[in-house]
Amino acid sequence: MTNTNGYLSGSNLERVLKNGHFAVTAELGPPQNADRSVIIKKSALLKGYCDGVNLTDNQTAIVRMSSIGAGAILVQEGLEPIIQMVCRDRNRLAMQSDLLGAYALGIRNLLCLTGDHQSFGNHPGAKNVFDIDSAQMVQMVSEMRDKRIFQCGEEMKGQEPRFFVGAAESPFAHPVDFRPYRLGKKVKAGASFIQTQIVFDIPAFKKFMEKVRELGIHKQTYILPGVSPLKSPTMAKYMRDNVPGILIPDEIIKRMEAAGAIWAGKSKDELTPEDKKARSKAWQAEGIKICIETIQQLREVEGVSGVHIMAIEWEEAVKPIVEGAGLYPRPVVPAPEPQADKN
Amino acid sequence: MIVAEQKTLEEIKTLVGSAKNVLVAGCGTCVTVCFAGGSREAAIVAAELRMASKLAGDAKAVADVTVQRQCEWEYLDEIAEQVGKVDVVLSLGCGIGVQAIAEHFPNAWVVPGLNTKFMGLPTEQGVWAERCAACGDCILGLTGGVCPIARCSKSLLNGPCGGSLDGHCEINSDVSCAWQLIYDRLTSMDKLEVLMDIQPPKNWKTSRDGGPRKIVREDLRLGKEE
């Protein structure tokens, strides 16, 4: 079995986490077109500010540039991709084949997800796949790496794909009591890192982590809670009311509203474009501030190994958040001695 | 039972087309119980077709008949004569009934009057819900009698996903989260430990994915005469 100097994959993210650093990952949403310059532009905003960049896989069931394609561009640009793969669009054959290709393109981190139902997206009439689920995907790719077998049990000859394998958990989705156990199942399946749904409610997250620690799961995996800068009070309320598993305390909504208080109570027509711009700026500044404070609080929670910043279509926010949270510069952990691929 | 729903009269009219003699064939089993294609519905559809064609100045002769089960040859034999006399048979059976008529009467033109929806049950008067996807390898023993293949929108075996909220599925608040149901039931039965094992990938070969399915019971087959 290939072993990359004690690392599973030797990826930057794995090295940072294994060496005890508080990790930072950030999300990059690929475009709804084939323009590589979008990826290059967005990646420039993230370079140096995170240890790995999540590339979403047809997020919310909307067709976008593939996470593997975008990931390959990131590799060329000198950033570290964490490709996301959902169970909605591929069966086990397509998953394994695409992952062989992704590894060959230099991609080393993989986040296994169930995927939003296609009814949310722009092809609601599509047939979904869900041949295997996310826990089974974690198991499959871990065994491709550790046992050098395909899902069918057949032995793999030649270079096996060695991914640093992650999974997601939504700590506040229902049934809440089962969430830590479900996390445990994914870790048992082989998930080395966990990125969570966006956290705003620190006491609720602490309660979740208490159970996670009681089960000892935090010692078997690296947990990176998700955070997200709010852009406006409307966005905050929308997320609170419409996205399963996102809890936003009233206090945070009030802070967002207060940030725009001087423009409050005025109708659309009373606000000049400059007013709107200034209000938006004030909201965004508060959103970033809340995000920084959230990170600082999460950092104090035992069992938290890093944060995953989801600045949705707002990659510019990552830099001030990382700097503001005192997480810049990012640690440099030398790569293990390069090993010759076996073939 | 198999649950079906009638097609719109507009679509039925299109399917019947220019045929002069029409036989509306109801079925006395599942689709009778779900009020989609029994003798009552067959008579109503026949009357509607008669009326519509008359209004359109193209009066059709429309008769209706209902057999006990369209999905068995023996019952179809009863209507062989009527089928032979018409230009089109509008079957108000499920998709199996339509095909049984096509197979049994090679010279008959048959069109469907229903959309076959699912295998399920009535949950209250006038409401039917899906319960089984006929995956061919029943796992209800692992899930407390609630099927995640048929009832989880993503057919997850190690659910629930992150879209479960207040007992509902992310796709629609009218859809129950199957995994919440499974969790609640196993909790109330004190059998939650069943959910702690990782269920391996399902072998979909027994499902429709393995190709059209067939069961052969040698013990029941009639032996060839010597």
Three-class SS state of B40: helix
Give residue-wise pLDDT tens across range B162-184: 999 999 999 999 999 999 999 99
pLDDT number for residue A265: 83
Instruction: Say yes or no: A245 contacts chain B, CB-CB below 8 A.
Output: yes
Q: Which residues of B touch A116 (CB under 8 A)?
A: 163, 170
Closest Cα of chain A to B150: distance in Å?
12
In degrees, rounded to 5, the angle at the alpha carbon of residue A149 between the alpha carbons of residues A147 and A155 is 115
Helix, strand, coil percent content, chain B, rounded in steps of 5: 35, 25, 40
Q: Which fold has domain B2-117?
A: Rossmann fold (3.40.50)
Under 8 Å CB-to-CB from B151, ≥6 apart: which residues? B130, B131, B176, B178, B181
The parts of chain A modelled with pLDDT lower than 70 are 1-4, 338-343
Measure Cα distances from A134 to A5, A113, A209, B143 in Å. Answer: 28, 5, 21, 18
φ/ψ of residue B128, rounded to 5: -120, 145
Question: Does the A12-249+292-324 domain belong in CATH 3.40.50.1390?
Answer: no
Q: Which residues of B touch A175 (CB under 8 A)?
A: 160, 164, 179-180, 183-184
- Taking alpha carbons only, the member of A107, A101, A22 closest to residue A325 is A22
pLDDT level of residue B74 (50, 70, 90 thresholds): very high
Q: Which residues of B touch A168 (CB under 8 A)?
A: 162
Q: How far apart are CA B63 and CA B76, in angstroms?
A: 16
- Please name the residues between 81 and 110 in chain A that touch chain B, using a CB distance below 8 Å: 87-88, 92
As a whole-number percent, the residues of chain A with pLDDT over 90 amount to 93
Closest Cα of chain A to B205: distance in Å?
11
Q: How far apart are CA B183 and CA B161, in angstroms?
A: 13
What does the domain layout of chain B look like in residue ranges? Answer: 2-117, 133-210
What does the domain layout of chain A look like in residue ranges? Answer: 12-249+292-324
Q: How does strand A306-309 pair with strand A222-227?
A: parallel
Cis peptide before A175 (omega within 30 of 0): yes
pLDDT number for residue A341: 53
Q: Which residues of A touch B198 (CB under 8 A)?
A: 135-136, 139, 185, 188-189
Mutate to test the interface with A, among B198, B199, B203, B204 (most CBs of A within 10 A): B198
CB pairs under 8 A between A and B: 92
Rounded mean pLDDT, B115-143: 97
Q: How many CA atoms lie within 13 A of B58 on its CB side?
A: 12
Q: Name the token pair of A267.
A: 């109708």
pLDDT level of residue B226 (50, 70, 90 thresholds): low
- Residue with more model confidence, B132 or A338: B132
Rounded mean pLDDT, B157-162: 95
Of B164, B172, B201, the CB nearest to A244: B164
Q: How far apart are CA B32 and CA B110, in angstroms?
A: 19
Q: How far apart are CA B198 and CA B140, in angstroms?
A: 15
pLDDT number for residue A281: 97
pLDDT number for residue A53: 98
Mutate to test the interface with B, among A90, A95, A117, A310 (most CBs of B within 10 A): A117
pLDDT number for residue A343: 45
pLDDT number for residue A266: 84
